[in-house]
Amino acid sequence: MKRNSLLISILVATTILTGGCRKFLKERSQDELTPQTAASLNELLAREGYPYVASGLTASDGFVFCNFLNFLDDDVHMQNRENIYVQPYARPFYTWSDKLYDDLGNLAYGQQQSRNPYQQLYNQIRGCNVVIDMLNDISGSADQKEQLEGEALTLRVYYYFMLVNLYGRPYNDPVNKNDASPGVPIVRSGGIAEKPLARNTVKEVYDFMVADIERAISLLERKKNISTVYRINYRSAWLLASRIYLHMEQWEKVLTYTNKLIGDYPLLTDLNTWKTPMAQGAFSAPNAPFLDASNVEMLFLFCSARTGDLQPIIQPPLGPVLIASNELTGIYETNDMRFTPFVSNPSPNFYLTRNSGYYTGSKVNANSPGARCFRMSEAYANRAEAIIRKALAGDGNASLQAALDDLNYIRISRFKAGSSNAVVTLASLNNDPIKVLDFYKLERRREFCFEEFRWFDLRRYGQPQIVHTYDPNEPVVTNPSLPVETYTLPQGGNRYLLKFPPTALQANPLLTQNP
């Protein structure tokens, strides 16, 4: 297939799948339409395969990347503060609206793409597919091509992981078996062109991801190139593999990749040595945000504060619309530098801080180069869970103490130096694997609040009931006659899956809607 025809077929395929389309390269001349070298293909991957990194909170050079995830979970609470931008956008997600796209349809806030993660993620998959399909048609060394393929495959896996966990049932769903439960369509190559695609099963999507990530790892491990925190490398591929196998409950595979990663790069950031914020708020320029390229535990950093989940949670100067829930703030302990649960809220609080009398996210600020990331603490958490789950399954070789050692290693780096409560003993948990698992879940929630974990974790924890409330008189009483509104997502409820956008259904007649 000629290069020009290949690009045209990709554009047609993505339009059919999602109802949307955007150009890959500016067509300056016939010769410049497509990449000819590994260097130009690398440029294409950076622009069309990678999530953008915007230059600041108000920048327009980054796209909105699934910035609703935290609106869905139990770590947030909505206040009646601002009715123009953030609240109207967040409210349909916060209430798990069955009319999501109708509710969002007339909003002026944000680009249409921000309301259509289905199209957005397939756009990025399209970029990865083009790179993979063109590898044999460009000039360049084998090392360059292997690096490009490894990066493109890893990114493609990440996007499918997001898609199948947004639109499909959990892999471990006890009722809807993964080999029959519908997931999302798999677009395997840019050469697959002009026909609609039906939904593959959840299992098929995961099997596809496994094949891709294993291939990617085999390529990226050969040279073990590490260029910048903004590009995929073998370490970030190992971490993503462990995340996928965690959702598949393949504990030995989780251990394989977390052991590799921790053995190769065991570093965590000690908050005792991290720059203490001079002020805490979205526009506090002196701050050193935790999600930052200078953080040694960062493996891959992407999306800006505007494009990540955190922008509406730290939204200034209108005041925070979405704040940390009481349930979340209540699980932190004395001396925890991530957040200290006292009215005085003494600094530093690197994950949550007091803003306008309420607790909001402080992992990023307006100067943050990224709001999404892969970082080393996940490797320790994933390994701990795999060990605990094996112990619960009766594996006599699984050491609960080893799992607790991983969790304590995270805690020591997060608590004030010398804190007596940083290290938790197995005896304090009665040597009970169930209690160790419960402790692990709390620690995972503390560590990864307001990142992209909690909603997906709730799905694999059995999709428990979640209750959100909205008080029209919070934080200021404006009309006492208005009642508190309560919204309930029942256990295993249908809104643990997003519905597909109307444009995707119209463009792809084989795409069946979620209930």
Q: In order of start, what are the domains of the chain with their CATH numbers?
A: 3-52+115-266 (1.25.40.390)
Average pLDDT over residues 42-59: 74
**Residue closest to 292 by CA, chosen among 349, 215, 202, 229:** 229
Whole-angstrom Cα distance, residue 8 to residue 17? 14
- The CA distance from 84 to 210, in Å, is 43
List, in order, residues 6 or more apart from 330 with CB less than 8 Å away.
Answer: 341
pLDDT over 70 (residue 7): no
How many Å apart are CA 292 and CA 277, to the nearest integer? 14
Alpha helices in 448-487 (DSSP H): 454-460
- Within its chain, how far is the Cα of 491 from the centroid? 22
How big is the chain, counted in residues? 515
Q: Is the pLDDT of residue 370 over 80?
A: no
Range from 29-33, 180-184, 228-232, 420-424 carrying the lowest mean pLDDT:
29-33
DSSP string, 413-436: HHBPTT-TTSSPPTGGGTT-HHHH
Confidence of residue 5 (pLDDT cuts 50, 70, 90): very low
Instruction: Report which DSSP code applies to 52.
Output: P
Residue 151: pLDDT above 60? yes
Non-local (6+) Cβ contacts of 301 within 8 A are: 53, 229, 230, 291, 292, 293, 369, 370, 372, 373
Band of residue 250 on the pLDDT scale cut at 50, 70, 90: very high
User: 3-class SS at 70?
Assistant: helix
**Contact yes or no for 276/290 (Cβ under 8 A):** no
The pLDDT value given to residue 319: 63
> Whose CA is closest to 105, among 514, 503, 489, 486?
503
343 DSSP 8-state letter: T
Assess contact for 168 and 182: CB atoms under 8 A: yes
Question: pTM of this prediction?
Answer: 0.91
Banded model confidence at residue 111, pLDDT cuts 50, 70, 90: very low
Reduced to 3 states (helix: H, G, I; strand: E, B; else coil), residue 341 is coil
Alpha-carbon distance 347 to 352, whole Å? 10
Q: CB atoms < 10 A from the CB of 63, how many?
A: 19
The most confident of the ranges 2-11, 42-51, 320-329 is 42-51
pLDDT more than 70, % of the chain: 78
Lowest-pLDDT choice from 82-96, 389-403, 457-471: 82-96
Read off the pLDDT band of 461 (50, 70, 90): very high
As a whole number, mean pLDDT of residues 202-219 equals: 98
> Residues 458, 72: contact at Cβ < 8 Å?
no
pLDDT of 120 reads: 86
Token duo for residue 342: 């006292």
Cβ-contact 200, 181 below 8 angstroms: no
CA distances to 81, 110, 117, 141, 490 from 305, in Å: 20, 14, 17, 37, 31
Contact, 204 vs 186, CB < 8 A?
yes
Mean model confidence pLDDT for the chain: 85
- Residue 176 DSSP class: S
Q: Which amino acid is at 262?
A: I
What is the mean pLDDT of the segment spanning 241-246? 98
pLDDT band of 62, cuts 50, 70, 90: very low
pLDDT at 340: 74
Give the CA distances from residue 348 to residues 335, 354, 371, 414, in Å, rounded to whole numbers and listed in that order: 10, 11, 20, 11
Is the C-alpha dihedral spanning 103, 105, 109, 115 positive or negative? positive
pLDDT of 28: 34
* Partners of residue 353 on adjacent β-strands: 360
> pLDDT at position 510, please?
97
Cα 505 to Cα 20: distance, rounded to the nearest angstrom? 12
Higher pLDDT, 445 or 323: 445
Distance (Å) of CA 387 to CA 230, 435, 444, 461: 31, 14, 15, 17
The pLDDT, as a whole number, for residue 146 is 98
Question: Taking Cα atoms as reference points, which of 402, 396, 397 lies closest to residue 436?
Answer: 402
Cis peptide before 317 (omega within 30 of 0): yes
Q: Is the pLDDT of residue 276 over 50?
A: yes
d(CA 21, CA 10): 10
Q: What mean pLDDT is predicted for residues 209-237?
A: 97
Please give the sequence-ordered ranges of beta strands (E in DSSP) within 62-179, or none if there are none: 76-79
| Mean pLDDT value across residues 88-103 | 90
Structure tokens at 386: 């795999």
Query: Is 116 exposed, middle or buried, given 0-12, 13-18 or 19+ CB atoms closer than 10 A?
Result: buried
